[in-house]
Amino acid sequence: MKRTRIIMGMPVSVEIVGPEAKPELFKEVFDYFRQVDKRYSTYKEDSEISRINHGLPRKEWTAEMVNVMALCEETKRQTGGFFNIEKDGELDPSGLVKGWSIRGAANLLIKRGVKNFMIEAGGDIQTSGLDKNGQTWRVGIRDPFNRHQNVKVLKIDGQGVATSGAYIRGQHIYNPHDADDQLQAIASLTVVGPDIYEADRMATAAFAMGRSGINFIEKLSGFEGYSIDQNGMATMTSGFEAFAL
């Protein structure tokens, strides 16, 4: 059973295979995503992140927000500053929160005894177990120049898959080391990681690196990547083909 809702300004899909696929479980997952949006959306004036940007003292931040900000700082250090949630004097942790929240939703399902599922939010995917055909989940990498076609199909066994690019949401990633870099060299960059939180944050940072991003992914243990440049040329990491059909 699969259900989709528009939350956080994007389609969020949950597919559950097996007898656990009950309406109340879908509702619980979607309610979780709505709570995340309520706290972290920079488009909501009453969200916690908006109030922080308007001067809410750190001592009044929720424990969860403090933790998420610590994760953002950790990611900034791990990526040489290419992952940076601060721009124009305001904080926007959405580059980390999306993958973090998908992983949170996945953990919610696992705690409820669900073994076989897939969660997708804005093109970022977490899988678990098998699909409705009893096979390893299949995940397509969309052609950034033709959104109706896939350039690759991957078999994903419990990993997370995240794609960064400007072809769906417009240019929402920036190079914190070069304000004039329009990040036009790479059309899309897909990362397969241990889970969607890890894949998403590293994909965001790697995309901000431009052409060198795929080399950054190559050096990360447990990660593989596939980038497409503005001319349609694809470059993949050495272990990426193990996921391709």
At residue 147, the pLDDT reads 84
> Could you say which DSSP state residue 115 is in?
-
The Cα–Cα gap between 216 and 228 comes to: 15
Provide φ and ψ at 31, rounded to 5°.
Answer: -65, -35
At residue 172, the pLDDT reads 52
We report the CATH number of the domain holding residue 129 as: 3.10.520.10
Q: State the average pLDDT over residues 116-135.
A: 96
Higher confidence at residue 198 or residue 123?
A: 198
- pTM equals 0.91
Q: What pLDDT band is residue 184 in, cutting at 50, 70 and 90? A: low
Full domain range(s) for residue 58 = 2-243
* E strand intervals along 29-105: 86-87, 90-91
CB contact at 8 A, 188 and 228 = yes
The residues, ordered by sequence, that sit 6+ positions from 82 with a Cβ below 8 Å of its Cβ are 175, 176, 177, 205, 206, 208, 209
Q: Check residue 169 and give left, alpha or beta (phi > 0: left; psi -120 to 50: alpha).
A: alpha
Sort strands 90-91 and 116-121 into parallel, antiparallel or unpaired. unpaired
The two three-digit tokens of residue 158, written as one number = 């419990």
3-state secondary structure of 234: strand
**Overall number of domains in the chain:** 1
At residue 144, the pLDDT reads 92
Q: State the average pLDDT over residues 33-37.
A: 98
Other residues' Cβ atoms within 10 Å of the Cβ of residue 227: 28
At residue 174, the pLDDT reads 45
Q: Which of 14-18, 162-166, 176-180, 233-237 has the lowest mean pLDDT?
A: 176-180
Q: Which amino acid is at 220?
A: L
The Cα–Cα gap between 12 and 123 comes to: 9
Rounded percentage of the chain residues whose pLDDT exceeds 90: 85
Q: What is the pLDDT of residues 78-115, one digit of tens each?
A: 999 999 999 888 999 999 999 999 999 999 999 999 99
The Cα–Cα gap between 205 and 197 comes to: 13
Rounded percentage of the chain residues whose pLDDT exceeds 70: 92
Between CA 18 and CA 26, with CA 24 as vertex, the angle to 5 degrees is 65
Q: What is the pLDDT of residues 227-238, one digit of tens each?
A: 999 899 999 999
CB contact at 8 A, 71 and 96 = yes
Other residues' Cβ atoms within 10 Å of the Cβ of residue 160: 26
Other residues' Cβ atoms within 10 Å of the Cβ of residue 78: 14
Between CA 66 and CA 114, with CA 99 as vertex, the angle to 5 degrees is 110
Helix (H) or strand (E) holding 145, with range, is none
Q: What is the number of H-type helices and E-type strands within the chain? A: 6, 12
